[in-house]
Structure 1
């Protein structure tokens, strides 16, 4: 009887300890598009045997720690072919995957039940993620795909009024939204007084809209955060694309700096309707132009660097008496570093500038104002377990405000130089 009790105690205490102490190893890697080598955001990585998994972050990186065993990995993403791979996880593995686009011809669909099945993986609420392919399938204005106009079709989002590219989230105002382009702040999201947004759809890869429960890393906003990421460029082949619209035309060039390691992207856009106004004896004009650039380079498996920028201007003129110029300029340097298989870091040095100027020749003075933003960010993501990810970091922001500078343009001007404080 005594020996039987000892055996029961051994099973109850020793066996769980042996299971708990089972060796565990980490599988990590990057998932990208096979044609362009663009990293893919939000790709699902599922471990079939354990019915657990993870997803790629904003830079296409994933990490998951599992007990030693043989597993079947299923990698899936909307619009791409699913990848199934068998692995023997007996050591830490670094596996990178390239996904191929999938296109199928479907027969007609007959709906027999009104049942919506949702596979919820995370409890995060009020978040919408959209790829540029999805946005390009939405209705457009004057033949131009518009990022801001597209998100107004989402629940809880309304436009800021006719002729405005801003948006309101559930009663909030336009100035309560934080808009980021590659982590850099965009202070004014409109072109041509609100008819178009500053985001060139050819250069955009992905966006995420937070309508509530905004993560702490964004610093907090009253209404929402719109986080937009630019493409990295095709590191396999040189590609030239563009389009001609009713109001504006665009051109984009992308290609490898070094095949499969580095890439560049340059995209420009400009309106040209003002060129036809002199034909109708109209001296007024209104036009815009912008430029998106990005350089990406993967130094090794643990280090990648990115340099991205944006420059845009709007110009509105009434004869020779009035000229209004405004626009954004941003520059961002990022360094991705992998300390361990479970610890991912991103260092960002960011510069944002918004300029607003008036030339009032009929009263002989110029008005200039603006705001500058210098931002240092260091973010870390720690993949502790398949179900627990810890995000932390540092963020320091310096603002420089220019409320207004008034300068006379002629010696006969009745205006003295004046700086608003």
Structure 2
């Protein structure tokens, strides 16, 4: 482990000295001409330059550094017409490109790991991407396009359980998936217990699933990362679209606030089957609704502000005798700033809240619970040269866990009000990574992340004999509570337990031919919050809990190997994955 860390640090140090020759930088954004939506992952290829290629980042920004001269610049993106333009580079310049969507429709939607030939040689493995052009053409079931269910077609991804929208990746658990919507954590991805996902396809701009080779800017989960971005809204003209399905309907409104400078998008969905049940004098009902909203403002070429949010709720009511409700609330403010034509930054302040509750009349109980976090991120992308790009940043998350607030169902209930001890945690991380082309055939991505988790009071914690909170009873073949020996009281904000882990990341791509490459990846992930469940898949009533003295963090090491071709991946049937708690 120490040897791996030293190697990563040596590579990072060496990389910083590679670039010394003065060159000029071509930078800018790539967007959809029809609505000015920036395009994520668009390819920029310079045919005359050795290793002259790059892709746009999560905000459509690109930067490439080249010697003085004239170049043919080729811009390509799935579902859009390719742009070819001659550029005379005599000084650093900003050049924005607008792409036109192809008029021809696809006969069949095929989900592949790498859509463009240039990505075959990118040191990125076990990544599946669904750009907006593909999402638009996905078939609808009952009037709804469910992108999560489409992911189940991918190798290594399985449904957690029939009737559930949770998913497992390469044997990992449901809580091992980090699901992000505009960088905000989504704790439950289902509506109506899995019949719908919480993601409205009308408002999704881009989706990426990392099953392995996870970049150093992601952490906090042990299995995979599902990174989803919402549309920014049309800043040229107003548009309204929607649809009516058998169970649910949807509506989206978008348009400019200030033309070519600011825009908004608002999208909502809801079911109406419960209304029909009421007309039939049926006392039971089940329904959901959700609302997505986003606005952005472009101050100038170097500063952009994004504000986005999500509100969703589900209600399952059996004649007021049993009422179950749960939902997500997300809010995010992001500021993009370009320090120079080689340094792009994004600062985010994020709020996530997942609440769930259950009312049971015959038990006389009204139970409510939630998990909430406040998240701050500051990420930098530094384009040192056309062969070397650095990513670095920090991330801090403060967690609040409410395992349960118990109240009587009504005035006739014999249940006494109670509050299960609330829990708090503080997770911090620093990371740095590099993506480097070493030769025409060899490209590597390497990085290091350090994460630290503090379990915070106020709480009174029991102590147990031999430090074992749970012991195995061989006579009955079950686990039981350990033998209590006393309690320890921790004051508010006091550290109850502390964990720290180095998480190295490495990916290698070696070109075997013009359309084929060999890829190898390794990543270590640390997970400090866990889903406590007694079922095979996630349910709305499961409890999230932080790591502490008795519930250790989960550490996962994963290695993957494969051969990539232009339109497919031929996976060598060899993967190694290890998860431990320590």
**TM-score, length of structure 2 as denominator length:** 0.65
Three-state SS of the structure 1 residue aligned to 2:278 is helix
Higher alpha-carbon deviation: 288-297 or 163-172: 163-172
**Inter-CA distance 71–39: structure 2 relative to 1 (3 Å threshold):** same
Give the equivalent residue in structure 1 for 2:28.
29
Unaligned runs of 5+ in 2: 1-18, 108-114, 422-582
> Quick check: 1:364–1:408 contact (8 Å CA) kept in 2?
yes
Give the equivalent residue in structure 1 for 2:301.
301
Three-state SS of the structure 2 residue aligned to 1:351 is strand
> Quick check: 1:23–1:68 contact (8 Å CA) kept in 2?
no
- 1: distance between equivalents of 2:105 and 2:133? 18
- 2: distance between equivalents of 1:316 and 1:106? 39
Give the equivalent residue in structure 1 for 2:62.
62
Three-state SS of the structure 1 residue aligned to 2:217 is helix
Three-state SS of the structure 2 residue aligned to 1:336 is strand
Give the equivalent residue in structure 2 for 1:111.
none
**Inter-CA distance 185–342: structure 2 relative to 1 (3 Å threshold):** same
Superposed CA deviations along residues 174-196 of structure 1, whole A, max 9, x for unmatched, are 11111000000000000001111
Give the equivalent residue in structure 2 for 1:38.
37
Give the deviation of 1:405 after TM superposition. Answer: 0.4
Three-state SS of the structure 1 residue aligned to 2:340 is coil
> Quick check: 1:303–1:338 contact (8 Å CA) kept in 2?
yes
Give the deviation of 1:216 after TM superposition. Answer: 1.9
Aligned: 1:172 with 2:172 = yes
Give the deviation of 1:364 after TM superposition. Answer: 3.5
Give the deviation of 1:358 after TM superposition. Answer: 1.6
Give the equivalent residue in structure 2 for 1:313.
313
Unaligned runs of 5+ in 1: 1-19, 108-115
- 1: distance between equivalents of 2:184 and 2:284? 33
Structure whose alpha-carbon radius of gyration is higher:
1
Give the deviation of 1:142 after TM superposition. Answer: 2.5
Which one has more relative contact order, counting CA pairs under 8 Å at least 6 apart?
A: 2
**1:144-293 counterparts in 2 under 5 A?**
144-293=144-293
Runs of 4+ aligned structure 1 residues displaced above 6 Å come to none
Q: Give the number of the structure whose residues are more often strand, by fraction.
A: 2
Three-state SS of the structure 2 residue aligned to 1:394 is strand
Q: Root-mean-square deviation (CA), in Å?
A: 1.9
**1:336-347 counterparts in 2 under 5 A?**
336-347=336-347
Three-state SS of the structure 1 residue aligned to 2:65 is strand
> Quick check: 1:322–1:359 contact (8 Å CA) kept in 2?
yes
- 2: distance between equivalents of 1:290 and 1:237? 25
Higher alpha-carbon deviation: 202-211 or 276-285: 276-285
Higher alpha-carbon deviation: 163-172 or 262-271: 163-172
- 1: distance between equivalents of 2:75 and 2:222? 37
**TM-score, length of structure 1 as denominator length:** 0.90
Give the equivalent residue in structure 1 for 2:482.
none
- 1: distance between equivalents of 2:95 and 2:256? 22
Give the equivalent residue in structure 2 for 1:121.
121
> Quick check: 2:79–2:133 contact (8 Å CA) kept in 1?
no
Give the equivalent residue in structure 2 for 1:330.
330
